[in-house]
A and B are shown apart, each in its own frame.
Chain A
């Protein structure tokens, strides 16, 4: 991958992270418009005190961390005219539990659910009892009780209005704060069960091992944070110390997804680091807040390393699993830092955000799981298809081989048969004929006829034998064997012989049987020329007609009175030619001193 591509990949991921990181800023926590809004209050930490005037939003801290203290806000507002419609006290963004009194009467707030976590920020809504608010000056007393931890208490501006005016804003924040958490918790449980199931079936897969460990651990942390569990300093500390463990697990997951080797100390560190932090806290060697900060710092550093690793892996090899996990990892760092700043009071923001990254993280894990499933199913399909194709190819190859082998076997059988036949003819009849020729020559004049008969028989035997072997069915090649036999025979008789088949076109269907017919016609023509000419010169030429059919012509000179054309020989030739789908024509030259026999063959001889 080229470097511009790498830069693009980096920018792409960073842009996504920044875009998601900015999302919380879009949420409007200002009081709804057109509603009576109170922007200042009298704040005191003791019931009896009159308190000091403060502007809203306002933060406050107890003198000692983890003290369960209550802060009291007194707010006043004026009503010109009462309408009789029910009125509500609405606080868009507050931290820590609030109870509200209007003109001395308790305004009942919406019931707390397991998912409202007042410590990390919420929206408060309470109904003012009917008839309590009257025209003129009214007073609201808000008692804000810190139940846990270190977080500064916070109160935004306070609105008083009808249901129509405040409900939309309350519903939105209620959805974001409570319902999203509920859904996340459900998703978390489902995914944890899913991952644990896969993990038990795929023990060797490090990605699932890490995902399983991380989701089980973080589920335990979530459970300890639930308001249903009695929450003390120790529990808070446990979950704070666990942050470092979860961070280290995220690093392990990132290493597994990037396919890198896990550093040996990582696995023990997951147990050892929180344990050491816990012991430090327990023995009071280090104050709780410092232990919590160290744990959070370790956790965030591990998440940062994981995010860097995953982004690099995505940039390097376009591993989308890495990209999917890189985004929530980076956001964990971002939101974690945000929360640390809020907790330590260095930055003022109503809501803690880190809990929301868990939703993203779980979504990312779900996407990774699903894409892995899809990929492995696709892989399975591909493997099946590849196997099927390979099998088909092998089958085809096998068939081809079989076919080839069979053809070879058939050819071998034919070859052997031909060989045997030839051997028999050679050893038997051929030998006898040669002997007869030798004997006839020895006996002198009386044997001449025997000799010529024996020679004719031997020639014919050769004709038959040679026609059996046609090679590739080439007529010219078949004719060559005939020529080779004819040449010495004519030379012996003192006949000048000319031969040319250069211009012979291709003829298809030259089987041994067809070739033998052609050769017999030529043999007959030559025999006639010798016998009836009697020829002193013979020429055999192959050529083509205008429509590219093959013509074989036998020319000879005529020295005596001519009888050709009437004998039985020509009839035989014509019959053979007809069988071949051709015809034979015979004519004398105009001067009567030559004869010409032509054999015209079709382009394709009959099978």
Chain B
């Protein structure tokens, strides 16, 4: 565990929710809340002035998207982690954030225990994934294989193990069931997830180009 308190920036436009989350984080001895921001401008400013360990941000902000904050953080402070908060943890916005550099996500109504547990996991190099997010990922990856073929090197090259885990989660198996099936420890499953996220982030740039070409091809 970290020896010094975790420096955290929190961004949430809804006042009561921001206060609630700030209260939980502020009450956690191992963390130090550097700033609680209500919009993108404040967040970007906070990232510019503080050296932080973790950014927790909502995606829909009055003056922009939390994803821009995650991108800036990944650029300026590559060692810092980012998490998104969402009411539903819907797969599209979460995946977009992950591709921008986020490592985890939280539900807005998560209670203090869950929230602190989630932060601990992300800082320790473990990432969460829901079956819905896994399903979208599997679909996207297999679509890429179907469509591209030639652009094999452009897509994130997941290991066989990582693919197995993604498939298993998409199929609705629990971490425990998967770990038993694959003969690994339950704790390493989220580590594999983190690796998958990093590969997604890396392939995001070339992916955007590829996706555009694919659309162009269809329009032809």
Contacts and interface: CB of A to CB of B under 8 A. Distances in A.
Given A426-B87, A492-B113, A502 B177 contact: yes
B87 A430 contact: yes
Interface string B90-101: 111000000000
Contacts of A476: 171-173
The A interface is mostly helix, strand or loop, or mixed, namely: helix
A471 B135 contact: yes
A543 to B, nearest CB: 14
A350 to B, nearest CB: 83
B172 A474 contact: yes
Interface in A412-468: 419, 422, 425-427, 430-431, 433-435, 437-439, 441-442, 455, 458, 461-462, 465-466
A483 B114 CA distance: 15
Nearest to A405: B218
Contacts of B92: 419
Interface residues of A, number: 39
Contacts of B91: 469
Contact of A488 (B110, B135, B169, B171): B110
Residue of B23, B169, B170 with most partner-chain A CB within 10 A? B170
B132 A481 contact: yes
Contact of B172 (A419, A426, A479): A479
A465 B88 contact: yes
Centre residue among B86, B170, B172 by max chain A CB count within 10 A: B172
Interface in B119-149: 130-132, 135, 139
B216 interface: no
B42 interface: no
A417 to B, nearest CB: 14
A500 interface: yes
Nearest to A483: B174
A491 interface: yes
A236 interface: no
A488 B111 contact: yes
Contact of A435 (B17, B86, B113, B114): B17
A427 B139 CA distance: 26
A501 interface: yes
Contacts of B14: 431, 434-435, 438
Interface string B104-119: 0001111101100000
A471 B170 contact: yes
Interface residues of B, number: 32
B64 to A, nearest CB: 16
Interface string A119-145: 000000000000000000000000000
Nearest to A478: B172
A442 B132 contact: no
A492 B111 contact: yes
Contact of A502 (B16, B86, B113, B173): B173
A422 B91 CA distance: 11
A461 B90 CA distance: 13
Nearest to B21: A438
A175 interface: no
A499 interface: yes
A437 B177 CA distance: 33
B114 A491 contact: yes
A60 B113 CA distance: 137
B108 A466 contact: no
Contacts of B174: 483, 499-500
A437 B90 CA distance: 20
B165 to A, nearest CB: 14
Interface string B17-53: 1011001000000000000000000000000000000
Contact of B90 (A426, A477, A480): A426
B21 to A, nearest CB: 8
A250 B68 CA distance: 87
B88 A430 contact: yes
A477 B110 CA distance: 23
A426 B17 CA distance: 14
A477 B170 contact: yes
Contacts of A426: 86-88, 90
A514 to B, nearest CB: 16
B60 interface: yes
B87 A477 contact: no
A500 B173 CA distance: 8
Interface in A466-517: 466, 469, 471, 474, 476-481, 483-484, 488, 491-492, 499-502
Nearest to A462: B88
B177 A481 contact: no
A484 B130 contact: yes
A461 B109 CA distance: 13
A110 B87 CA distance: 123
> Most chain-B Cβ atoms within 10 A of its Cβ — which of A471, A483, A492, A500?
A471
A480 B174 CA distance: 8
Contact of B19 (A438, A461, A481, A491): A438
Contacts of A439: 16
Contacts of A499: 174
Nearest to B174: A499
Contacts of B113: 491-492
B136 to A, nearest CB: 9
Contacts of A433: 87, 109
B144 to A, nearest CB: 16
A405 to B, nearest CB: 9
Contacts of A478: 172
A499 B90 CA distance: 23
B190 to A, nearest CB: 13
B16 A438 contact: yes
Contact of B87 (A431, A471, A479): A431
Contacts of A434: 14, 17, 87, 108-109
A422 B172 CA distance: 22
Interface centre among A425, A441, A455, A465 (most CB of B within 10 A): A441
Interface centre among A433, A438, A492 (most CB of B within 10 A): A438
Contacts of A502: 173, 177
Contacts of A480: 130-131, 169, 171-173
A476 B132 CA distance: 12
Contacts of A466: 132
A471 B87 CA distance: 21
Contacts of B139: 471
Given A438-B19, A466-B132, A474-B171, 19 more contacts: A425-B88, A426-B90, A430-B88, A431-B87, A434-B14, A434-B109, A438-B16, A438-B17, A438-B20, A442-B19, A442-B20, A471-B170, A477-B131, A478-B172, A480-B169, A481-B130, A483-B174, A484-B131, A492-B113
4 tightest Cβ-Cβ pairs between the two chains A and B: A480-B172, A430-B87, A480-B131, A476-B172
21 contacts: A422-B88, A425-B88, A426-B87, A430-B108, A431-B14, A433-B87, A434-B14, A434-B109, A439-B16, A442-B20, A455-B109, A458-B87, A458-B109, A462-B88, A466-B132, A469-B91, A471-B170, A474-B172, A479-B172, A481-B131, A499-B174
Interface of B: 14, 16-17, 19-20, 23, 60, 86-88, 90-92, 107-111, 113-114, 130-132, 135, 139, 169-174, 177
